[in-house]
Amino acid sequence: MADLQQIAKAAQEIIQICEQERTNKADKEKLLKLQGAILTHIESLTECEVCGSIADLVVTMTIEPVTAKLCKDCGISAIETGKIKKGTTRKQAARTVRKNAPTAKKKSPPQQASPKSTVELFAEVEKETSLKKTDIRRLHKLIQEIPSPMNLENTVLYVQHEAGLAKLRIEQDVLKTAVTLLMAA
């Protein structure tokens, strides 16, 4: 029996079990077994490289320099025309769209800026807050590691918490000033 038919048969058995008025542990085990069978059959399905359809029987065919895995219909048409017209599959189409699409300019983090600007930034923060440069670097690193942009208040709270975990003893007002200056850069 073909893989698609096996999947349909297992799905019908799952539906029958689910429609029962009461289910028990044995039913759960049957469902898990059927799920495994469905996944096994799904993994054995392959995609036609011309039309993108999924079939359980795909033939690898070579005509001239082109080799492709073809379903029954595409294989017959390839033999008739003497050519394999490779189409783009969904994965390939998505990749080509991403390659050709214009990329948005990303903001470069302050660390990637010229070393002079980060040195100047750290010096400015040091003047304003009288913190050590090592503490300023650690705060700067904490701010850069934030996965998504936060507003200033949440960033201060986050950095305050992380600074506490890192055992940095910095007053809240000084921390807020430092974070404000580091985020402004």
Q: CA-CA distance, 138 to 120, in Å (whole number)?
A: 16
The backbone region for 82, taken as left when phi is positive above 0, alpha when psi lies in -120 to 50, beta otherwise, is: left
User: SS3 for 134?
Assistant: helix
This prediction's pTM: 0.40
Per-domain residue ranges of the chain: 3-40, 54-98, 110-184
List the chain pLDDT tens, one digit each, 185 residues: 588 888 899 899 999 988 888 888 888 888 888 888 888 888 888 888 888 888 777 888 888 788 888 888 888 888 888 888 776 555 555 555 555 555 554 444 444 444 457 888 888 888 888 888 888 888 888 888 877 677 878 888 888 888 888 787 888 888 888 888 887 76
Strand (E) positions, the chain?
46-47, 54-55, 59-63, 66-70
**Partner residues linked to 55 by β-bridges:** 46
Q: Residue 75, exposed/middle/buried by CB under 10 A (0-12, 13-18, 19+)?
A: buried
Q: CA-CA distance, 43 to 79, in Å (whole number)?
A: 28
